[in-house]
Structure 1
């Protein structure tokens, strides 16, 4: 491809050969009826039949293509290949750039991996980039194969957003089930490691950090004056944002419940410790007189002062009694007893 600039041809249509030069992971043309066809030089992109290319931004060929093509504004190019990004939406003259984060839900005890997804979308072209595989994209491709996929670019944006939200919701439901399990263990007076709580809290914080900015992004997109987004699409985007807001509230509630679980664990541990100390104190009280008697009878009188006198043993006992009385008075003064 060299240093050739990739552009539209003379009649304004997008050259399929130029798109394929990016070496996409997946490419197709929406047929406007819920399915997709392979890119063909004989077809042209339109609002009802847009092109979609899905790229891996870690490929050097893809990076070169993005930097050289005129199909993407310069403001967008760096955003499509930047590795670490926060969710955002940028409006351009010809389209919008959207950066979203999602999760690849995995039904195990480990936190679900977070993935970043970027796409630039116009009325007849969708260019999306990622590095890790994204479950939402896989499901969107499956919908296209079944004939229930997006029919245009607005529907593509909404269906993808819904699938990303569905994965987040699955992840949240998994975390919520773990919280219920921990609460059930507490009801049965079973103690578990703080590491289990730590994993749940971490996943909740990650999900909240992910959802909070994205709910605003969907509202922002719905308020943009974009010709290919109609009122019905705007309402669907608002519904997605409301759903995100609902889950943010649920996450806040779960964080409070996790805090309550930790307090109950600490309370149970403190109660258990107090019971052990109390039991040991009882044993000490029981064996103290026995210990005192055996110690007293085992005193070596030859080593004490005035051992030659008959009252030496009685004097020792009186001294011990005096020490005990002084100790009791001292404890009373200190209000320790």
Structure 2
């Protein structure tokens, strides 16, 4: 179907549904939404906006929903979630996005294979479900990486701390959109349009519960990352304290030795042993004995 046909499409028989998947920057889309679909300016602006939080509301029998999906495009971060706006009146379902999303392509592939949804309600619920299901991939990946870092003894601590900070930012970024998306699912259940069947509402309810579980998993991931971060910081602090402790012991041992050698090195008259050939060796032996005594004292005090 070309664009001119899509603009004037009307269902020719009961149950016929048109799905349009559009780029939000398509020329003339704003005017078409307002004139052909009779949308008010605020709703049309919401459907074409780039920065939107997930939400859902009704306008008559039309359902307007803003959802977010994981960005699987190359070089993207998991928390960089892509917005997809959905408008549906039971006969036409319009999805709008700016960047490419995996979910519409997967649903389209099912339809091409002769499977998938057979009504507007089933199509809407499948799109919402697939967007949520794919969030689990990023959460599982983060949890697996946290488990690997807990057992990692070779990687530099600073590198691990940097990666943990990234994971915590990802958790916060995902939760920023997943929480309002869960509220959007609840809103649809409270005030569903007539073209959503009981089976569709059941699927939406299950999608909301799944999203709730993912939010709980995110909290666990964030807490696990925080515990691991504290553990690494404690290990680094303990290692530094051990190093400082050993340096303090070395300084404590050589402090009296340095005092004696400094005292013997002053150029004043009357320094004993200046004219004796064996004075140097006697002094060295005395220093060795003193060092041994210091070691014995430190051992007894359990400093070593």
> Secondary structure in 1 aligned to 2:86?
strand
Q: 1:237 to 1:109 in 2, by over 3 A?
A: closer
> Secondary structure in 2 aligned to 1:301?
coil
Tell me the residue number matched to 2:150.
183
Q: 1:101 to 1:266 in 2, by over 3 A?
A: same
State whether residues 79 and 171 of structure 2, in contact with CA within 8 Å, keep that contact through their aligned partners in structure 1: no
Alignment of 1:19-30 (within 5 A): 19-20=6-7
Q: Structure 1: which 5+ residue stretches go unaligned?
A: 1-14, 22-40, 308-337
TM-score in terms of structure 1 length:
0.73
Q: 1:45 to 1:223 in 2, by over 3 A?
A: farther
**1:237 Cα deviation after fit:** 0.9
State whether residues 97 and 120 of structure 1, in contact with CA within 8 Å, keep that contact through their aligned partners in structure 2: yes
Structure 1 stretches (4+) deviating beyond 6 angstroms?
106-109
> Secondary structure in 2 aligned to 1:233?
helix
**1:55 Cα deviation after fit:** 1.3
TM-score in terms of structure 2 length:
0.80
Q: Structure 2: which 5+ residue stretches go unaligned?
A: 271-304
> Of 105, 117, 127, which aligns to 1:138?
105
**1:287 Cα deviation after fit:** 2.1
> Of 23, 27, 35, which aligns to 1:60?
27
Q: 1:286 to 1:127 in 2, by over 3 A?
A: same
Q: 1:109 to 1:284 in 2, by over 3 A?
A: farther
Structure number with higher helix proportion: 2
The structure whose RCO (Cα within 8 Å, separation 6+) is larger is 2
Question: Structure 1 CA distance, aligned partners of 2:263 and 2:146?
Answer: 58
RMSD: 2.6
Question: How many pairs align?
Answer: 269
> Of 25, 31, 45, which aligns to 1:78?
45
1:99 aligns with 2:46: no
**1:225 Cα deviation after fit:** 4.2
State whether residues 69 and 131 of structure 2, in contact with CA within 8 Å, keep that contact through their aligned partners in structure 1: yes
State whether residues 47 and 153 of structure 1, in contact with CA within 8 Å, keep that contact through their aligned partners in structure 2: no
> Of 240, 252, 262, which aligns to 1:285?
252
**1:16 Cα deviation after fit:** 7.7
